[in-house]
Amino acid sequence: MTNDRLERIDAERASDAQKQVIARLGEGRGRIPTPFNIWLHNPRLAEGMEIIGTHVDRSPVLSEAESEVAILATAVFWNAPYVIANHRRHALKSGVPEPVVTAILEKRRPDTDDDRFGLICAAVCDLLAGGAIDDARFARYETALGRDVIAELLVTVGYFTSISLGMTLHALRPKD
């Protein structure tokens, strides 16, 4: 596979609608993240994804490490090499312990001493397995994490599912 499937948007030749999204990305992110070169072909979609992505990037209810666990697990589930490589580095940098990262990469539920961190890992695994869990398990997540975290995990997994599938569809490979 080659990387020539990704058609990057030239800011100079972008439509007015594309330029508006590019400007918002510059304000919120300081750059155009790679997936937006896919979504900018549909500016209205890119606008919505920018709002969600900037929110996920600055989650008010998840720590950076908790977000990275959700992102990495999602990328591994979808077998997205580009996203896996990028977020493996981000996960380690954010403080996710190496054994947890290894477990996620090996598609195992990680053993962790941090109960909240373990619950985040378990919840993400359950979401990626289809979300059909029993009432007792849901009650455990609701009590220990809260509905705000459950909602945040749903959005994070959904957003990074789109990124993972998009990067794979466009044949993006990690940089060596």
Please report the pLDDT score of residue 113 as a whole number: 63
- Residues 165, 114: one domain? yes
- Residues 91, 28: one domain? no
- Residues 39, 116: one domain? no
The CATH number that applies at residue 78 is 1.20.1290.10
pLDDT tens for the chain, 176 residues long, are 445 788 888 888 999 999 999 998 888 777 888 899 999 999 999 999 999 998 998 899 999 999 999 999 999 999 999 999 999 999 999 999 999 999 999 998 887 766 788 889 889 989 999 999 999 999 999 999 999 999 999 999 999 999 999 999 999 888 76
- Residues 104, 161: one domain? yes
CB 99 within 8 A of CB 87: no
Please report the pLDDT score of residue 6 as a whole number: 87
Residue with tokens 């008010």: 60
Instruction: Report the distance separating Cα 82 and Cα 92, nearest Å.
Output: 16
Instruction: Report the distance separating Cα 93 and Cα 131, nearest Å.
Output: 29
Global pTM value = 0.91
Amino acid, res. 10 = D
Task: Look at residue 132 and give its three-state secondary structure.
Answer: coil
Residue 150 in any domain: the answer is yes
Parent domain of 100: 64-169
- Residues 103, 137: one domain? yes
Quick one: angle between helices 147-169 and 43-57, nearest 10? 130
Please report the pLDDT score of residue 1 as a whole number: 43
Total domains, the chain: 2
- Residue 94: how many other CB atoms lie within 10 Å: 15
Amino acid, res. 71 = I
Q: 30 — alpha (psi -120 to 50), left (phi > 0) or beta? A: left
Q: Which among 33, 57, 81 is the end of a domain?
A: 57
CB 125 within 8 A of CB 133: no
